[in-house]
Structure formats: structure tokens, C-alpha cells
RNA sequence: GGAGAGGUGGCAGAGUGGCCGAAUGCGCCUGAUUGCUAAUCAGGUGAGUCGUAAAUACGCGGCUCCGAGGGUUCAAAUCCCUCCCUCUCCGCCA
């Protein structure tokens, strides 16, 4: 959410942002409603002041005066009720608009419509070359008896899967490696709820707009399954005013992630690329409202993830996500895309976002500066490792000619020292 | 899930219809005093919003907020209803 005062002062910046992000936004209506709400709000405040002042005289009034006052107050009350309802309706409409106003993208966010317009800014490693015909991750995993998508679908529907044996262990190894990698870098590990109140989905900017992508409980419980630990972790300090000396906060959390993938029917149906449930290690930074500091954090969390990829020897590139592919809340987003031989291309494995105070404003996540003034924090987050897409990259890039998998050195301690997994196929 | 007790400012804790945005204590800030520290004394110390103003500064003024939302009343922290949360006991259970 943007500051209404900012929208009032810089309506053209908001219009430009909406255009760049291809998100509809009726700035004129917002400004109209803003004027109306304030005008009627002022009138309401005046009447209310009158009501209170008169009411206070009541206690000391004589019986005759009381009758007169009550008559006067009854009239006021009716007028106030009408005004109050009007203001409430206007505010609700205004809030409905504000909930959908996009955050302002950074100047160096490229113009573009969709992910095909994202701009590559860095490439590390070369696409893996093989002296043999490489297998895709499904062929490898099924060949080794490590993957059962038929049973997954029978149990939980399409886009669900069962990892077995060493692939299940490899998943654990990657997650554990990623988690410890971040703990070493000073991030505080958290175990968090993945079933959260709907208001938390709203606070982090997933709602309104992302309802189709999230699983919700039925009306008995006002809860949703999160698509990422970003949601509960960013909301950890909601409604708080953090002391300056406790910032920045750096958190890392391993969690299950749930995605409905509505609208993706028919896309990436084979294998583990697009699934309803996976595990992910996520990093979140909360700090003061300073654009430059946020940029530094953004670079830092990007590097934290890149270090994982480099340690695992996986070829990847970094893209600067274009306006049309950016979500409503982000100021800027850098995706890491990892080489996936079966796709003969790079596939998104990480997403590093910075939000300025967009999430913090909704979450009422604030801090007190050196002068005692209260501000909304800045928030950022990035993937460290997402299980299924990481497994695709590992299986396909680290496969040997005989269908076994060479384990990157950093993962071996989590696999009892084994350097190779599987049997010759 | 059943029974009971509660949710008030950074914390503790008063307040059962108007004089309460809220006693008191602790903490914190400023000043006074004091070799230093401690102690003592005086004053101050929530968030938000609207207005005033050259100003997102200081100040001044209004309004909102006593878990959330509704209701009763001329008037609600206080009475009623619903929900959320915490604690105690019982039941169930990984």
C-alpha cells in the first residue's frame, strides 16, 4: 500500500507506475474520494465535538435543562449517524482502490510486458554440456525409483508427487545446506506457521489479487496456506514499533509452500517444475526506511542466493524483472534462473524482491528513529533454495552418463559423505 | 470440544455509565541538587488522523483508538451480543 499523501502529491508518478506494471489504477477516483472523505470527516469531527461538549454539561444540568439538552442531542445523533455511514462507505470504497494501487517501480526496472522482456544482467557458468545424451529429471528420478507422480496424483491430485529414497534425502540435504548457509551469514532461523490468517495474506500484499493462487480453508477457519515463508516471517513484527538498535532484522525460514497454480493448466505439466507443494528456504530482511540501504540489502540477499548456486556448481543467470512481470507490491525484483538441460534454457529458481514500506504499511510494521519519530520499515526477501526446482537443476546438471547423480561437494556432509547417488541405468 | 477467569499506555495495575486517553507504581526523557555514581525533587513521556502553518519542524486545536466488530444510551473502557486471543481445570490427541 502506498501512502495516500504520496498519491495526493504525486498522482502522475502513480499513473506512470501503473502503466509500467500494466496494472489498472483509477488515480482520479482515489483523489476524488480522498477529498470527499476529508471534507465529510471534518464535518463529522465538528459535530462530534459539539456532541461531546454538550454531553459533558449533562451531569451538572438541572432537570429542565436536561430535557432541552437531550432533545438537542437526539437531533445531533441522527445527523452524526448519517454522516458516519457516508464516511464509512466512502472510506471503504477508497480502501478498495488503495488495496490495488501498485508500488512505484525503480527507475532501472526495464519496460516490458512479460517475462520475455526481462533483462539478463549477469551470467555465471556455462550451460552444462554433455558427452552423452542427457536425460531429463523425470526420466532420471523415475529410473532410479525416486519419484512417483502417479501415486502423488492419486493421493493429492495432479501436480503432486512423492519423492522416495535418495531423492528424498537429497531434498533434505539441499534444504539443510541452504538453511545453514544463511545461519552462517548471521540470519536468525525461524520455524513459522504455514497456515495463516487471511489478514496476513493481505498484509504481505498477496491479497487482494492473489486469492486464486492460495489455498484457503473453508468458512470454519479464516486461514490460508502460504505460498512462501515470506508471509509469516514478514508479518512476525506486524503491529510493532521496533527499536532502532534492533534493526536490521535478518531471518531465514524453511517451510512448506503451497500454490494452487490456477490458470497454469497445461503448462509445465511434466515433472517437478510446477507443483502444488514444495519446500523452500526463504530469507527476509526488515530494516529502516532508507532507499539506499534497501538497495544494499537487495544486493546482499541476491548474493546470498548466488553463493548457494556457485557452491553447488550450478550454471545460472540473473535477470532484472521488467515492469509488466513485476507484482503489485515490488519496487524491483531480480530473479535467478538456473540452467535446466531438459528445458534447454534457464528456469526461475529464485526471486529477490524489495518493497520499500509497501508491506510494512499494511502490516503496521514500524520502528522508532533516533529522534523518536515512528516510520514504516522497509522489507525485502529472496529465495535461498526451493526444493523441487533445485532438484530439477541438480538431477539434470549433475547426471552422469550412466544415469547416476554426482553429489556436489557441499551436500555430501548431509548424505553421509556419499559422492554419487543411484544405480547405473 | 466442555467449564471458569481474563484481555486497559513500554511494563505492572486501578477504573463498573458523564468530571477517563485513562489513577498509581516502575521504566524512560529533560531539568535541579550532588566530588562521581546512587538517592532525592520538579516537569515530561502512546499511536493515528484532520485542521492551523511556507513546511512530512516546533507549537496549538479537533477527532479516533482501552483485543476486534456490532448494539443499547442524550452519553460506553465501563452495559448487551458475536468473534479473536490468553490463562486454569476437564476431555481428546501427534
Task: Name the nucleotide with the smallest C1'–CA separation from A3.
Answer: B56
Q: Which CATH number is associated with domain A115-421?
A: 3.30.930.10
Whole-number Cα distances in Å, A3 to A7, A14, A30, A119 = 7, 11, 12, 30
pLDDT for the residue numbered A73: 83
Active-site residue (options: A294, A342, A351, A387): A351
Report the protein residue whose CA lies nearest the C1' of nucleotide B45.
A372
Chain B positions with an atom below 7 A of a protein C-beta are 18-19, 47-51, 62-64, 74-75
Nearest-angstrom CA–CA distance, A314 and A420: 16
Distance in Å from B7's C1' to A237's CA comes to: 20
Please, are residues A374 and A241 in contact by the beta-carbon 8 Å criterion? yes
Distance in Å from B59's C1' to A42's CA comes to: 21
Q: Which three three-digit cell numbers place residue A410?
A: 557441499
Distance in Å from B89's C1' to A81's CA comes to: 46
pLDDT for the residue numbered A219: 77
In 10 A of CB A422, how many CB atoms?
Answer: 23
Nearest-angstrom CA–CA distance, A140 and A421: 11
From the number of C-beta atoms within 10 Å of its C-beta (0-12, 13-18, 19+), residue A220 rates as: exposed
Please, are residues A316 and A306 in contact by the beta-carbon 8 Å criterion? yes
Tell me if residue A129 is catalytic. no
Binding site residue list of A for L-serine: 228, 259, 282, 381
Look at the block and give the residue holding cell 445523533: A77
Distance in Å from B77's C1' to A374's CA comes to: 26
Distance in Å from B6's C1' to A234's CA comes to: 30
In 10 A of CB A97, how many CB atoms?
Answer: 16
Nearest-angstrom CA–CA distance, A258 and A278: 7
Task: Name the nucleotide with the smallest C1'–CA separation from A77.
Answer: B74
Please list the residues that pair with A333 across neighbouring strands. A353
From the number of C-beta atoms within 10 Å of its C-beta (0-12, 13-18, 19+), residue A168 rates as: middle
Nearest-angstrom CA–CA distance, A64 and A56: 16
Tell me if residue A191 is catalytic. no
Task: Name the nucleotide with the smallest C1'–CA separation from A58.
Answer: B18
Q: Which CATH number is associated with domain A4-99?
A: 1.10.287.40
Nearest-angstrom CA–CA distance, A43 and A402: 80
**3-class secondary structure per residue, A313-372:** CCCEEEEECCHHHCCCCCCEEEEEEEEEHHHCEEEEEEEEEECCCHHHHHHCCEEECCCC
Alpha helices in A59-114 (DSSP H): 63-98
- List, as own/partner pairs, every contact residues A114-118 make where C-beta atoms lie below 8 angstroms and the sequence separation is at least 24, other chains included: A114/A322, A114/A324, A114/A325, A115/A321, A115/A322, A115/A325, A117/A322, A117/A324, A117/A325, A118/A319, A118/A320, A118/A321, A118/A322, A118/A325, A118/A335
Please, are residues A231 and A206 in contact by the beta-carbon 8 Å criterion? yes
Look at the block and give the residue holding cell 541438480: A394
Task: Name the nucleotide with the smallest C1'–CA separation from A59.
Answer: B18
The residues spanned by each domain of chain A are: 4-99, 115-421
pLDDT for the residue numbered A264: 86
Q: Which three three-digit cell numbers place residue A375?
A: 516510520
- The whole-number mean pLDDT for each consecutive block of 10 residues of chain A, a chain of 425 residues, reads 92 95 95 92 88 75 72 84 88 91 96 95 96 96 97 94 97 98 97 92 92 87 92 93 90 96 87 96 96 97 98 98 96 97 96 96 90 90 97 98 98 97 95
Tell me if residue A351 is catalytic. yes
Distance in Å from B24's C1' to A156's CA comes to: 60
Active-site residue (options: A135, A259, A361, A362): A259
Strand pairing category for A147-148 and A332-340: unpaired
Active-site residue (options: A274, A317, A404, A412): A274
Active-site residue (options: A342, A361, A389, A396): A389
Tell me if residue A259 is catalytic. yes
From the number of C-beta atoms within 10 Å of its C-beta (0-12, 13-18, 19+), residue A60 rates as: exposed
A110-137 core/surface letters (b: 16 or more CB in 10 A; e: else): bebeeeeebeeeeeeeeebeeeeebbbb
Per DSSP, chain A holds a count of helices (H) and strands (E) of: 12, 17
Q: Which three three-digit cell numbers place residue A156?
A: 493429492
Widest pairwise Cα distance in chain A: 103
pLDDT for the residue numbered A60: 61
* E-state strands within A164-240: 188-190, 195-197, 223-225
Find how far residue A15's CA is from the centre of its chain: 23
Task: Name the nucleotide with the smallest C1'–CA separation from A52.
Answer: B75
Tell me if residue A348 is catalytic. yes
Please, are residues A304 and A184 in contact by the beta-carbon 8 Å criterion? no
Distance in Å from B77's C1' to A45's CA comes to: 21
Could you check whether A4-99 and A115-421 share the same CATH topology? no
Binding site residue list of A for ATP: 259-261, 275-278, 348-351
Torsion on CA atoms A233, A237, A238, A244, rounded to nearest 10: -130
User: CB-side exposure of A219: number of CA atoms within 13 Å?
Assistant: 0
Footprint of strand B on the protein (CB under 7 A): A 4-5, 38, 41-42, 44-46, 48-49, 51-53, 55-56, 58-59, 69-70, 73-74, 76-77, 241, 366, 372, 374
Amino acid at each position: 500500500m502506498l501512502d495516500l499523501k504520496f498519491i495526493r502529491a504525486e498522482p502522475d508518478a502513480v499513473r506512470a507506475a501503473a502503466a509500467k506494471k500494466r496494472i489498472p489504477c483509477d488515480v482520479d477516483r482515489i483523489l476524488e474520494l480522498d477529498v470527499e472523505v476529508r471534507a465529510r470527516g471534518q464535518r463529522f469531527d465538528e459535530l462530534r465535538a459539539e456532541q461531546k461538549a454538550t454531553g459533558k454539561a449533562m451531569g451538572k444540568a438541572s432537570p429542565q435543562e436536561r430535557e432541552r439538552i437531550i432533545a438537542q442531542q437526539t437531533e445531533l445523533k441522527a445527523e452524526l449517524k448519517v454522516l458516519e455511514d457516508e464516511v464509512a462507505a466512502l472510506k471503504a470504497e477508497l480502501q478498495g482502490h488503495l488495496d490495488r494501487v501498485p508500488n512505484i517501480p525503480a527507475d532501472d526496472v526495464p519496460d516490458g510486458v512479460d517475462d520475455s522482456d526481462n533483462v539478463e544482467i549477469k551470467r555465471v557458468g556455462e550451460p552444462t554440456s554433455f558427452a552423452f545424451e542427457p536425460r531429463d529429471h523425470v526420466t532420471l528420478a523415475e529410473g532410479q525409483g525416486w519419484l512417483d507422480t502417479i501415486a502423488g496424483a492419486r493421493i493429492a491430485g495432479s501436480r503432486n508427487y512423492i519423492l522416495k529414497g535418495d531423492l528424498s534425502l537429497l531434498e533434505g540435504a539441499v534444504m539443510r545446506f541452504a538453511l545453514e548457509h544463511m545461519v552462517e551469514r548471521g540470519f536468525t532461523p525461524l520455524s513459522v506457521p504455514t497456515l495463516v490468517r487471511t489478514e496476513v495474506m493481505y498484509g504481505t500484499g498477496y491479497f487482494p489479487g492473489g486469492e486464486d493462487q492460495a489455498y484457503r480453508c473453508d468458512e470454519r477457519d479464516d486461514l490460508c496456506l502460504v505460498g512462501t515463508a515470506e508471509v509469516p516471517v514478514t508479518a512476525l513484527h506486524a503491529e510493532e514499533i521496533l527499536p532502532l538498535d534492533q534493526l536490521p532484522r535478518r531471518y531465514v525460514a524453511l517451510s512448506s509452500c503451497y500454490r494452487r497454480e490456477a490458470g497454469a493448466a497445461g503448462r509445465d505439466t511434466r515433472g517437478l517444475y510446477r507443483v502444488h507443494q514444495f519446500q523452500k528456504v526463504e530469507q527476509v530482511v526488515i530494516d529502516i526506511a532508507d532507499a539506499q540501504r534497501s538497495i544494499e540489502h537487495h544486493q546482499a540477499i541476491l548474493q546470498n542466493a548466488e553463493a548457494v548456486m556457485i557452491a553447488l556448481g550450478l550454471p545460472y543467470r540473473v535477470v532484472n524483472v521488467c515492469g509488466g512481470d513485476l507484482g503489485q507490491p515490488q519496487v524491483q525484483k531480480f530473479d535467478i534462473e538456473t540452467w535446466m538441460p531438459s528445458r534447454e534454457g534457464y528456469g526461475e529458481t529464485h526471486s529477490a524482491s524489495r518493497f520499500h514500506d509497501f508491506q510494512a504499511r499494511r502490516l503496521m510494521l514500524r520502528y522508532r528513529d533516533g529522534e523518536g519519530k515512528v516510520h514504516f520499515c522497509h522489507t525485502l526477501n529472496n529465495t535461498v533454495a526451493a526444493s523441487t526446482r533445485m532438484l530439477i537443476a541438480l538431477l539434470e546438471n549433475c547426471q552422469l552418463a550412466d544415469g547416476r547423480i554426482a553429489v556436489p561437494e557441499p551436500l555430501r556432509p548431509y548424505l553421509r559423505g556419499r559422492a554419487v547417488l543411484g544405480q547405473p541405468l
